[in-house]
Structure formats: C-alpha cells, structure tokens
Structure 1
Amino acid sequence: MNDPVDLLAGADPLAAFRRAHAAGQQVALRTSGTTTTPRTVLRTTDSWVDSFDHVARLTGLSAASRVWIPGPLTATMNLFAAVHADWVGATRVAGLTEATHAYLTPAALRRLLAEPAVLAGVRVVVAGDRLDPATLASAHAAGAQVSHYYGAAELSFVAWADGETLRLFPGVEAQARDGELWVRSPYLCAGYLEPDQVAMRDADGWVTVGDRGLVRGSTLEVHGRAGGITTAGATVLVADVERVLRPQARGDVVVTGVAHPDLGEVVVAVVTDAADVAPLKALARTALMPPQRPRRWVHRATLPLTRHGKVDRAALTRDVSTEREDA
C-alpha cells in the first residue's frame, strides 16, 4: 500500500481526502494529546465514508446546509465535520449568523450561551468533551437543536444522543470489561504511524482507548478516561470520582491528582462554581471511599483549554499543584 496521506500537510485537506479515497490510500490524523503524548492515527477513508450517510441522517445535513466549524481542523472532530460537509456538498460559512449547522466543543457552546439568541434555530453538534446536562438544557432553551456524540480519533463514532442518553451509533458494538469500554465497528482506525505505539486491540477486533463506562443494551454511559491517582498506596480512578460528583454540580467539576510528600499524590477537585464546594464535600463524605475523597477543593471560574477546545488537564494540574485550598 502507498504511504498514508497526511491530510493536514497541504493547503486543502478536503481535496487531499478525496484524492486518498480515490486512490485507496490510508490517511494520517494526529491526535490532540490532551492526556497522553500526541500520536498519529492511521485509518482507511472508508472508515469515515461508511458513516457519512448515518451522520447526514442524524444531523439533517444536506447540500442545502450551511455549516460553521469554528475550531481548528487539527482537531479530528472538526476535520471530520469539514470532510463530511464537503462530501455532501454543504457550504461552509464564516459565522454562526449564516449557519444552519454548527460543530462545537462544550466549552465553545457555553461561550455562545452568553448571547443565547444567536443559537435559535441552529442545529448544533457537540463533541470533543463531555456535554453536561446544564449546558444542554440552556442550549435547548435558547432554541438550538443539539446532538452530541462520544467517540475518539481511534474509534470514530461510538454513540450519539439528541438528548441526554447516548445510544450506540449504527454499526457499532460496545462492551464494558471491568469498567473499561471496548468497541468494535466498521469505523475503527487501522493503528498508529509511530512504531512504538500500539492500539489496544484484541484478536476479535475489539479496540479500547482506556475510557471507562457502562453499556446497557444499546445505551452507553461514559465516565471518562481512567487517569489513575496513587494516594497512600491506593489507586483512585479520576473517572470514578467525577462520575459521582458531576451530576450533582451546577458548574463543571474536574478531578486531578497533585504530588504530596507523604501520600504520593492527593485527589483535588476543581469546580467552576464556588457554590458547589459545600454540597459536593458532603456528597463525597457519603458517596466516595476515603481514598477517593478530594483532599483539596479549588475554584476556577474558567478551566484551561487546549487549542481544540478541550479541558487541558495537564495545564490544570500544573496550575493547582502549588495552590492551597481556595474554594
């Protein structure tokens, strides 16, 4: 097979995708590296093209649509959206006021909610991070139609929702093995370009990226990337703590671990609404095991984001690692 096509190496990644598809070449996509070292994912063009009709049906996207994609094409979700819009003949526009459809991260959607009238009548597709119920409700109140999905650069689409409940994307199988999500579908990547990186794939074609969650029939509950914190000899999974705290919070909650001279690490909860601290502390005392309970609670009105609009956990950990409890 010919060398893979780096879609972002040239001036027109959409044309590069079309050429690669016609030639039967794989394409190379760089991951964002928000929690790990960035990697280059290899996939066939069919692994995207085979999902196009399903996405068009779920979003109502057609050649008459006008699509706004404000994020950089270096983010896989944005690159897919642009390739898909090009494939169906939709027009990409420069602003929300012209758009029938918009592809946003949850953080970008929250910023737009400062002027909610601009969202009225727009079909918004959200991905790249967890969409919390409060933001979803606010977007609906603003008159937007909101869909969101769970996936990854390695997995492509896994589950889709037009409300709060994620349902498996057409053609996708999922299972939870000891709380870790494994996926099998026509949309999976072929592997990584870097020889020292190996996709977690079993002999039956199931792949995992380390996310945790539950599968109940055709519905999926995603708890996030595991992210182990070792404190006083116990391993605490970030996803398990966030799964308990987030549903009861008015703002966002991000859990991280910072170094401690005696315990190795301690669990820290960062909240965007200071009023969440007292009730979440009380919840933690009853709903979490002692090692899981945050030792520190920190308030940050805004969370650091990567250039792709995801929470930058590494930057947040650096930010709070030298802070005293301030919430």
Structure 2
Amino acid sequence: MTSSPSRPQSDAVAPLDRPDPVAAVLQAHHDGAPLLLGTSGSTGASRPVRRTTASWFDSFPVVAGLTGLGPDSLVWVPGPLAGTMNLFASVLTAWAGATLVDRLEAATHAHVTPTVLRRLSGLAGRHVTVAGDRLDQASYAAAAAAGARVAHYYGAAELSFVGWGSHEGDLAVFPGVEVSVRDGVIWARSPYLADVPTIDGFATVGDRGSLDGDRLRVVGRGDAAVVTSGATVLVEDVETALRPVARGEVVVLGVPHAELGQVVAAVLTDRADQARCRSVELPATHRPRLWYAVPALPRTSAGKVDRAALASLVHDGAERLVR
C-alpha cells in the first residue's frame, strides 16, 4: 500500500528562514509544529522535505549514546546550516546540553563531511562523526591513526539514519531501522522517516546496495550510472576502485558519445593521479575513456560534490588530459 503526504506545507516551520535556525527547530518541537527542510541537491536542485520534529528528536538518544555526547561536550560543526546534517548536529548539541564551538582545537566532538575530514589535523582524542558523502576506508584509517574516534553514517534528508559504522565498508543497519533491498534498491522503515511516500511503511531515495544480515553496503544512487554500449556502470563502483590510489579527489561521470551513448570519464583534482588510476585493474566497461582535471570540485551548500555542475564544467571545457 502506498501513502502520500497530503497535508499542506504552509503550517510547517522553515528553520532556514528564521534568524536562528536551531532555536526555530527547538521551538517547533515545543509547539508540535512540523519542519520544512531541503535535500542536499547533489544530483539536482534541492527539494523541500516535510518532517515531524519527532523524526529527529527520537534519534537523539541513540546518536548521543553512539558518540558519547553529553552536557560537557564541546561540538564543532563547520558546515552551513543549510546542510541538513549540520542543522541536525547543531540541534542535537542543543538537545544534549552540549556547547557549540567555532574551532576544532576547542572541540571534543565534530560533525564533518569526508572532504573536510581529509583536510583536518589535530584530531587526536576527538570523536568525529562523518556524513554527507561516502567515507572511504583509507580516509577513515588515516583519521583513526591520527587518534580520532571516527563514526560514519549513511542516510538521506528524506530517510534520516539508515546505516552506521566506521566507514563505507563497515555499515550496520541503524538501531530502530528496518532495511529491505528490493531489486537492488535500498528501502527503509523507521520512526525517523520524513513525510514522504511509502509502501508498507518503507521509503526509498533510489540508492542501490545490498544487505547481508544487518550489514549494509551502499553502491550509489540509481541515476548515478553510465550506460555505455549497452552496459550499465555505476559510477560509485569505479570511484571506489580508483580512490585508494589517488592522492587528490576522483569523480566519475558519463560523457555523451555519438555511437556508444555515453563513455566513462574520470575527473581529477591532481593531474598526476591519472597514471596511478590507470594502473587499477577494471573491467573494460568500467575503465575511464576520458580524463579531465579541475582545480577543485564544485560543491553544494551541504558540501557534497555537485555532479550537475561538474558535468557542465566538463562540457564547457575542463582541462582534458591526454591518455
């Protein structure tokens, strides 16, 4: 059975339209008013998402327990509150009676994206929660070796928490969540869902993956694929293979081709990574046929790679590397 939200959005509180978004969420919870937030927009324009405050607040005790967050904690959240993960982390901090700080050096806890994590130093002794994009095992290992206690979660603005672990290869189903993988697509049912259409209580954002017991593997959004000469290549499969050997960042996308439909292309932030990435053994369908270099990857306000903007950069003349 499919359910669809039908209540008007006019009664919902849009925290980002208020002078203090965190206070607006806390007041909405006190008043029993719903929230109107946005998705990250990594594959297109941000969409409004309506949710109850309970869909956040019910998860707070679980997250606080997993991260050791308490009244004495000092929390650094460097990302903009327009990013749902950052607003959530800031409201969680207020709920726990903890204190937000403006620099990592003063913090006991931090909430960052994988990109920010890779740039940080002085992590020893701090609990760092990483979300907003996939955290690869190498980045986790580097942060852990620097003395950080790292946690990583998979979710979406519409679903909230789905998986929790130390990195993308170590995700367990989040407490209180039921996961079903149907035809390779991840569906979730939990008290943490936003006001989104469901089938028997399960909702999806189209991410693909697999489930083995309570171990969850996420391989990417269904539309993040390249169809080349009749073969479907999930870009995250290629990125997962290339990232361990790259020193900079690597993003894979499809470039239109008159005969093949699309070809696999790799965009690098370090030109020297081309040789390293080309040494990786991949099936013929998955090997990048085009290579590009950009000084930095375009990002959304939430800190995710803006794949639509990157595709435009490639189309409009990003530096093409000779094979």
TM-score bracket, shorter-length normalisation: 0.7 to 0.9
The Cα of 1:32 is off from its aligned counterpart by 2.1
The Cα of 1:105 is off from its aligned counterpart by 0.5
Q: Does 1:223 align with 2:231?
A: no
Cα RMSD (Å): 2.2
Which runs of 5 or more structure 2 residues have no equivalent in the other structure? 1-6
TM-superposition CA deviations, 1:125-165 (whole Å, max 9, x none):
11000111221111112211111111110010111113551
Sequence identity, in percent? 55
Instruction: Note if contact 1:134-1:250 (Cα within 8 Å) is conserved in structure 2.
Output: no
Instruction: Note if contact 2:40-2:304 (Cα within 8 Å) is conserved in structure 1.
Output: no
Describe the SS at the equivalent of 1:78: helix
Counterpart Cα distance in 2 of 1:279 and 1:13 = 44
The Cα of 1:253 is off from its aligned counterpart by 2.9
Q: Tell me what 2:24 maps to.
A: 16
Describe the SS at the equivalent of 2:321: coil
Change (3 A) 1:75 1:324: same
Q: Tell me what 1:212 maps to.
A: 208
The Cα of 1:246 is off from its aligned counterpart by 4.2
Which amino acid in 2 is paired with 1:108?
V
Match of 2:160 among 144, 148, 156: 156
The Cα of 1:79 is off from its aligned counterpart by 0.3
Change (3 A) 1:65 1:326: farther
Q: Tell me what 1:265 maps to.
A: 262
Which runs of 5 or more structure 1 residues have no equivalent in the other structure? 192-198
TM-superposition CA deviations, 1:60-102 (whole Å, max 9, x none):
0001111111110000000000011011111111111111111
Match of 1:76 among 79, 84, 105: 84
Counterpart Cα distance in 2 of 1:283 and 1:230 = 21
Q: Tell me what 2:124 maps to.
A: 120
TM-superposition CA deviations, 1:171-221 (whole Å, max 9, x none):
011122222111111101112xxxxxxx4x32x111111111111111111
Instruction: Note if contact 2:243-2:250 (Cα within 8 Å) is conserved in structure 1.
Output: yes
Q: Does 1:256 align with 2:233?
A: no
Which amino acid in 1 is paired with 2:308?
A
Counterpart Cα distance in 2 of 1:247 and 1:183 = 30
Counterpart Cα distance in 1 of 2:79 and 2:276 = 35
Match of 1:184 among 186, 189, 194: 189
Counterpart Cα distance in 1 of 2:233 and 2:166 = 32
The Cα of 1:248 is off from its aligned counterpart by 5.8
Q: When the two structures are superposed, what TM-score results if normalisation uses the length of structure 2?
A: 0.88
Which amino acid in 2 is paired with 1:151?
G
Counterpart Cα distance in 2 of 1:10 and 1:150 = 28
Instruction: Note if contact 1:299-1:326 (Cα within 8 Å) is conserved in structure 2.
Output: no
The Cα of 1:268 is off from its aligned counterpart by 0.4
**Count of residue pairs the alignment pairs up:** 311
Q: Does 1:147 align with 2:151?
A: yes
Describe the SS at the equivalent of 2:301: coil
Q: Tell me what 2:238 maps to.
A: 241
Q: When the two structures are superposed, what TM-score results if normalisation uses the length of structure 1?
A: 0.87
Match of 2:308 among 298, 310, 314: 314
TM-superposition CA deviations, 1:225-251 (whole Å, max 9, x none):
221333334443323433444456565
Describe the SS at the equivalent of 1:107: helix
Counterpart Cα distance in 1 of 2:240 and 2:13 = 39
Change (3 A) 1:26 1:50: same
